[in-house]
Amino acid sequence: MTKLKFTIVLLSIFIISCASTPEVVEEPTQEEVIVEPEVEEVIQEEEIIEVAPEPVIEEKVVIEEEPIIEEEVEPVYIPEPLDETLLAKAKKEIFKAEEARAKTYFPGRLNDLKKKLAKATELKESDPDQSRVLLNEISSESLALIEDSLEALKVACINILNSQSEKLLKIKADKYTPKEFLLSQSQKDESIKAFEEGDFTKSLAIYRVAYTSMSNLYNSLSTNMGYIDNLLRIINNYRVEAKTIDVEKWAPTEYNLAVDSYITAQNLLYNEYDAVNGEAALRETLFLAKKAIEQARINIDVAKTDQEILELMNQLESASTLTVLDREDNIISPEEWTGEVKLKEKPIEAKVEKEETSGLTPIDLEKNVDVEFPVIEGETGVLGIQETRRTLLAEAKELWQLGIEARNSGDLVKAGEYLAKSKVYLDEYKSMAVDYIYTVVLNPEKRDCLWRIAEKEEFYGDPLLWQNIWERNKKLIQDPDLIYPGWKLIIPPLN
């Protein structure tokens, strides 16, 4: 009985514990059948001594199945083809940067743009999106480069104009040619004003006019002053010669005239700054100096002859006081004799040719010259056009021929003058030489162009330097892409 009670107590505790814990009720599936314990039957069997083993209830682990989500298939991205006009636009923008002298002032940035353009061209088929990115960078960077280049060009152009003004002041253009100097300065100020206002098209046009005027004025005046300096050197040589033979003694009249003329020339040139009349006075001085020297030499020769005449006259007067015998021994008594010599004061007049034509170069402010735009090194030389060069060389040859003729005629002084002038013109001509003259040829298979000409080893060996040839020949070449057979192009030296 005790065992029965103990069993009942255990069953009660078990039932209470089961009642306090909620069961997970699941609908049985076809595969599973949950068997609930028959509690009532256990309780009715009070007489069973041994306790039946407690049934083991297996808890089913329910695994919730996750819903299957079908993955969306992303569409294949096909980039939009590159518009060829974008490449053309980038090329045009780089060309504008070159026109703004970016190659001179910012060559590194310009080369970077060209590299990007080459890369964009390379990627236009394989990666058009990246190509567009590069082209957009070129567009923005080229605009900034153009702006910076134009600013640098403005500063450089203004510096060049101011430098030209300083050169003109050094040769006293404001005093020798005040009208032309004031005109060139007015054009310079107008150009600078246009630069400051940001109108580069207008400012560059006025810059060409101002630079042309100032260059022509400098070239003409410096050439004229060089010619005047040469006249002064020749006159100084005559002064040395005149001192050697003492012209002041032997031809005092001519000597004084030459001195007076020289003083007049000095006053005109360095006090009144009258180059035209000063040069004319120097030519007059040169004429009078040569005449004084020649007259002195003639007078010296005449004086020697006169001396011989006087000596013979004295001998005759002395002999007339002697008593002598003739061949037949007849006595001849002395008969005094006094000679009378009437000598012409100037039996021979010196004949010297006078230079009637002025050697000055007329001043033409509008004459074509090579307009100098700013460069990295060096300066543009003077007198850059071929017509002026041919004129200088022709004059040098003519003077050289006149020197030969004067020498053959025995007038070595005149020959020296002609040859000295010839040297002046020849030196001026040589200072303006160019490296080469290239004649454009017709070659159907590989036509001539500035690119290929610059690429030639005898010239630059670099096709990228074609613009040097274009800049030097802009009066002939209107379009750098169009040159014609037979054209003669100047190949300027590299600075």
Q: What is the pLDDT of residues 47-64, one digit of tens each?
A: 444 545 555 555 555 555
Same domain, 420 and 398: yes
Q: Is residue 8 part of a domain?
A: yes
Least confident of 31-35, 86-90, 161-165, 277-281: 31-35
Give residue 484's pLDDT band: very low, low, confident or very high (50, 70, 90): confident
* E strand or H helix at 331: strand 331-332
Which of 129, 147, 170 is where one domain is finished?
170
Neighbouring C-beta atoms of residue 398, cutoff 10 Å: 14
| Average pLDDT of the chain, as a whole number | 76
The backbone torsions φ and ψ at residue 81, rounded to the nearest 5 degrees and listed phi first, read -60, 150
Same domain, 92 and 163: yes
User: Is the confidence at residue 417, as pLDDT, over 80?
Assistant: no
Alpha helices in 366-457 (DSSP H): 386-408, 412-430, 450-455
Q: What is the mean pLDDT of residues 393-399?
A: 62
Q: What is the mean pLDDT of residues 444-466?
A: 85
Which pLDDT belongs to residue 480?
84
Close Cβ partners of 452 (under 8 Å, ≥ 6 residues apart): 446, 463
Q: Is residue 261 part of a domain?
A: no
Same domain, 91 and 163: yes
Which pLDDT belongs to residue 59?
54
Q: Judge whether 161 and 170 are in contact, CB under 8 Å.
A: no
- Mode of pairing for the β-strands spanning 324-325 and 331-332: antiparallel
Least confident of 42-46, 93-97, 356-360, 406-410: 42-46
d(CA 159, CA 170): 16
Task: Tell me the CA distances in angstroms from 357 to 221, 231, 258, 360, one per residue in order.
Answer: 18, 14, 19, 9
The backbone torsions φ and ψ at residue 490, rounded to the nearest 5 degrees and listed phi first, read -80, 130
Least confident of 83-87, 198-202, 459-463: 198-202
Same domain, 95 and 150: yes
Q: Is residue 392 part of a domain?
A: yes
User: Is the confidence at residue 355, as pLDDT, over 70?
Assistant: yes
Same domain, 90 and 158: yes
Which pLDDT belongs to residue 228?
92
Give residue 73's pLDDT band: very low, low, confident or very high (50, 70, 90): low
E runs forming strands in 248-299: none
Tally of residues, the chain: 495
Which pLDDT belongs to residue 382?
28
Same domain, 108 and 58: no
Which domain, by its residues, includes 476? 437-491
More confident residue, 474 or 284: 284
Q: Judge whether 146 and 97 are in contact, CB under 8 Å.
A: yes
CA dihedral for 219, 220, 223, 228, sign (positive or negative): negative
User: Is the confidence at residue 343, as pLDDT, over 90?
Assistant: no
The backbone torsions φ and ψ at residue 126, rounded to the nearest 5 degrees and listed phi first, read -80, -35
Give residue 425's pLDDT band: very low, low, confident or very high (50, 70, 90): low
Task: Tell me the per-residue pLDDT of 259-303, one tens digit each, with 9 for 90 and over.
Answer: 999 999 999 999 999 999 999 999 999 999 999 999 999 888 878
Task: Tell me the per-residue pLDDT of 172-208, one tens digit each, with 9 for 90 and over.
Answer: 999 999 999 999 999 999 988 888 887 777 888 888 8
Which pLDDT belongs to residue 142?
92
Query: Which DSSP symbol is given to 31?
Result: S
The domain that holds 447 is classified in CATH as: 3.10.350
Q: b/e map of 349-369 (b: 16 or more CB within 10 Å)? A: ebebeebeeebbbebebebeb
Which pLDDT belongs to residue 463?
86
Q: Is residue 35 part of a domain?
A: yes
| % of residues, the chain, pLDDT over 90 | 28
Which of 114, 140, 170 is where one domain is finished?
170
Q: What is the mean pLDDT of residues 25-33?
A: 45
Which pLDDT belongs to residue 379?
28
Q: Tell me the DSSP string of 456-477.
A: STTTTS-GGGHHHHHHHTTTT-
Same domain, 156 and 89: yes
Nearest to 97 by CA among 136, 132, 156, 138: 138
Q: Is residue 266 part of a domain?
A: no
d(CA 97, CA 100): 5
Task: Tell me the CA distances in angstroms from 11 to 24, 68, 219, one per residue in order.
Answer: 22, 47, 134
In the beta sheet, which residues pair with residue 491? 436
Task: Tell me the per-residue pLDDT of 110-147, one tens digit each, with 9 for 90 and over.
Answer: 999 999 999 999 998 889 889 899 999 999 999 999 88
Q: Is residue 263 part of a domain?
A: no
More confident residue, 320 or 390: 320
CA dihedral for 480, 215, 373, 201, sign (positive or negative): negative
Q: Is residue 275 part of a domain?
A: no
Which of 170, 187, 208 is where one domain is finished?
170
Same domain, 59 and 110: no
Any idea which residue has 């009066």 for tokens?
475
pTM, entire model:
0.50
CA angle 341, 345, 348 (to 5 degrees): 115
Same domain, 391 and 447: no
Q: Is residue 405 part of a domain?
A: yes
Task: Tell me the per-residue pLDDT of 367-378, one tens digit each, with 9 for 90 and over.
Answer: 765 555 544 222
Domain total in the chain: 4
